[in-house]
Amino acid sequence: IYFKNIISIFSYNSDTGKFDDLIKTHFYYLFPTVLFSTISDSIRALLNSRNKYLVTSLTQLYPVVFTIICLYFFLPDFGIYALSIGFTIGYLFELITMIIVFRLEKFPFNLVFRFTKSIKLLINQAFHKTSASLFTAIVPVVNQIFAVRQAAGSVSLIIYAQKVPLFINVVLTMSIGVTILPYFSNKVVSPIPYKPKDYYNIISLLFFGSALVCSILFLLSGFIVKLLFLRGKINMLEITIINQLQKIYFLQIPFYLVAIMAVRLLTALNKNKHTLYGSIVLLL
């Protein structure tokens, strides 16, 4: 009912009428990914508990691969919707693969539901985790709402500037963040008392290592931007803006990775309430 009003928030400087049907159709194509990814992520967490990182990591490439296939082979058939359709098909095949692997692993399940203390703790932690994720997810939305109130094309410049830093964040988060959660969880329940020193050693190594890499990327930022984006209708003024924005995002990477480690540790300790507080501060 309020879809048109929501669209207008993100189209402050333009007439949204001609874009309504286009955005709605993309939305309908993409919406099933919410269900597919939710189930896949739940299965992925169980598989990670058995150290099946190879399978859970490779399946995350499906959306990218199927999107490329649709754009390359079916663009004449699907037109502008090839991107959304390929993305959704990728998530569907990811879900199918995860279910097959899950069945092969033969996880023991008791279908008798009992509202135990553990279930209560899970629900409580899930509420805090979901709320924290909600506040974190709103941050890029707020960025875009403010950006569209600036000069035309501001959102596009921000998106271009985020490409390389976001790629680094995603790769490192997948490789380090996913594997560190079972590590912390095992440490917490281990008979040997958990030592905070272990955590500080990890984040120190991660912070200074990523800071060194990002310092190099910061110095090479101008070259990277020109190499990737200086073509078509993008001019040198826009390249300069993208370069400045990209440098800011490079500076965020070490702190982002440390924050991810903190979130994983808090999750292992069932302290997601603090994650919620942190996400509120981030949004503000």
pLDDT at site 110: 63
- Residue 86 in contact with residue 144, Cβ under 8 Å? no
Percent of the chain predicted with pLDDT > 70? 89
Looking at residue 208, its pLDDT comes to 92
For residues 67 and 16, is the Cβ–Cβ distance under 8 A? no
Radius of gyration of the chain, Cα coordinates, nearest whole angstrom: 21
Tokens of 88: 């959704």
3-state class (DSSP) for residue 190: coil
This prediction has a pTM of: 0.65
Measured distance CA(234)–CA(163) in Å, rounded: 16
- Give the pLDDT band (50/70/90) at residue 246: very high
Query: How confident is the model over 105-160, as pLDDT tens digits?
Result: 877 766 566 767 777 777 778 888 888 888 888 888 888 778 777 777 788 888 88
Pick the residue with more confidence: 38 or 105? 38
CA angle 280, 281, 284 (to 5 degrees): 90
Contact indicator for 174, 60 with CB cutoff of 8 Å: yes
- The model's pLDDT over 208-225, given as tens digits with 9 standing for 90+, comes to 998 999 999 999 999 999
String of DSSP letters for 1-58: --HHHHHHHT-TTS--GGGHHHHHHHHHHHTHHHHHHHHHHHHHHHHHTTT-HHHHHH
Quickly state the pLDDT bin for 5 (edges 50, 70, 90).
low
Question: Sign of the CA dihedral 22, 23, 24, 30?
Answer: positive
